[in-house]
Amino acid sequence: MGSNDHRNVALAVDRVRVLSRRLVRPSSSSSSSGHAPPCDIHLTPWDLRFLSIDYIQKGVLLPKPPLSGDRLADALASSFARALALFYPFAGRLVAEERADDGTVTVALRCTGEGAEFVHAAAPGVAVSDVVSSLYTPPEVWSFYSYNLVLGADAATESRPVLSTQVTELADGVFLGMSLNHSVGDGTTFWKFMNAWSEINRRAGGAMSDDLMIREISTPAPVFRRWFVETSPVPIPMPVGKLQHIVRRLERPEVQECFFTFSATSARKLKAKANDEMSGAATATISSLQAVLAHLWRGVCRARRLPPEQVTFYTVMVGCRGRVNGIPAWYVGNALMFGKAEATAGEIEEKGLGWTAWQLNRAVASFDEAGMRESLERWVREPEFTYMSKLQSGDAGGVALITGSSPRFDVFGNDFGWGRPVAVRSGAGNKIDGKATVFEGPDGAGSMSLEVCIAPDALRRLVADEEFMDAVTLPSSCSLGKYINFGFSPINKDVTRRCNPFLLHAKSWIQWSYQFSLTLDEYLLIGLLSE
């Protein structure tokens, strides 16, 4: 991170105070979920490759609960323990066995039942509106998580929990931020746990035993048995000598992030436009998500001011549940492949939204089970770990995008008993220049949101890009002060209609100030207010 980022994060940490930490163990025997817990769950290549990246960090912002302080923390810790009874491996520990005789290392998730971490924190000076009323993500959000910048391998080398949750009480709400070791689960696993926890907490008011509670909730029994290709040894011996040898601490780039929401109507319009442009040429339908990501790719290429000949990349995560025989919908673990599209910046700009979306469509459609099996077999012979620096396209930097997560994950259904989430935000984990995380939109029904993390100067230009922002629904607040403080102009026709004339003139000054370095006095002198 740059020096400004460090200062902002330091100030944010001062506003968030940790009140307590505890280890929470499963509240009942894991046999209550219908499974006899294995001693060890051996990790697959899909799991092992993520030992080298940060924990998954996602969380929901909830309205103010009826309880507060220790009573709130104790109630949530109790339901958290019940959720751990259903997802009992998450109370275990990663263990690495290093064999000196052949220089190999094996890693497993040992179901010890030692517990997951539960942190209670307070940020009384932070309001819900501070998080949701600006496009820019405030630095406090990163402080709503424990295990910032902790790698998956650290859980084995330092005997850390594989799951940690932080409950942060705000002035008028509460943020539940969860950190899950990426080597024990992917985004599907993450949100299934959150869904189970929220439902258990919602039902906790009745006099129901732990066993009955777990049987009654709508969450199906998780499947912990890992899926391996038939030729794979179990456990997989990795020829790395020591686990520490795979660890590379990412030099954190200077980035900022914005949260862009696309209404269902906007997403449908982009989809229709993309398919119309490819009418007669495309052999499959471009999805709304592919159209929205193509819209982002084009906007970011302009914002980065890439020369026409510059090759740019977009990596998308392709889920294997439902695509591979033998992997059930409730499979707990990682089941992901990477799909990669590439094109020059000139092609993306000149050939339009439809052509760009088609490149993403082909990247996803290129998934082939036979090829996937071959890649897993090759990984066993030649392990290759995931490093975020590689996903930035190595030394090139500033030319790539990567999108994970899915708008299909049930984020806004996580009602803990006092109302649906107000918002969703992620933590500092794996934040690189070009990371774009997709979530379901707050309105559901086809809306979606993108949490976009790129270099600050490029992000300022992106939010001043009228073509890009025309598809974005701005936060309901029209507070010009917030926009000025964060340094961008809210170019959007919807906000243009709703805000007063002075705001519109001030908006124009902000846009011109970025393009031509004009002061407000210079802007007034050349008569732009008369436009």
From the list 42, 182, 295, 433, the catalytic residue is: 182
Contact 30, 37 (CB under 8 A): yes
35 catalytic? Reply is no
Q: Are 20 and 120 in contact (CB under 8 A)?
A: yes
Q: Supply the DSSP string of 325-362, one letter for each residue.
A: TT--TTB-S--EEEEEEEEEHHHHHHHHHHHHHHHHHH
Residue labelled with tokens 């979606």: 448
* Catalytic residue check, 433: no
Q: Return the structure tokens found at 364.
A: 């996803």
Give every strand in the sheet of 104-110, ordered side by side. Answer: 40-42, 104-110, 93-99
Select which of 35, 40, 211, 415 is catalytic: 415
Rg (CA), the chain: 24
What is the rounded distance in angstroms from the CA atom of residue 263 to the CA atom of residue 413?
18
Own/partner long-range contacts of 96-105 (Cβ < 8 Å, ≥24 apart): 96/153, 96/156, 96/157, 96/243, 98/241, 98/242, 98/243, 99/237, 102/237, 102/239, 103/239, 103/240, 103/241, 104/237, 104/238, 104/239, 104/240, 105/237, 105/238, 105/240, 105/241, 105/242, 105/243
Order across the sheet with 336-344: list the strands.
256-262, 448-454, 435-440, 400-404, 311-319, 336-344
**Contact 312/301 with Cβ under 8 angstroms?**
yes
* Exposure b/e, 379-396, CB count within 10 A at least 16 = b: bbeebebbbbeebbbeee
Cα–Cα distances in Å, from 74 out to 80, 316, 528? Answer: 10, 39, 58
What SS3 state is found at 155?
helix
Q: Is 528 exposed, middle or buried (0-12, 13-18, 19+ CB in 10 A)?
A: middle
- Non-local (6+) Cβ contacts of 374 within 8 A are none
Strand pairing report for 435-440 and 173-180:
unpaired
Which residues are marked as active site?
182, 415
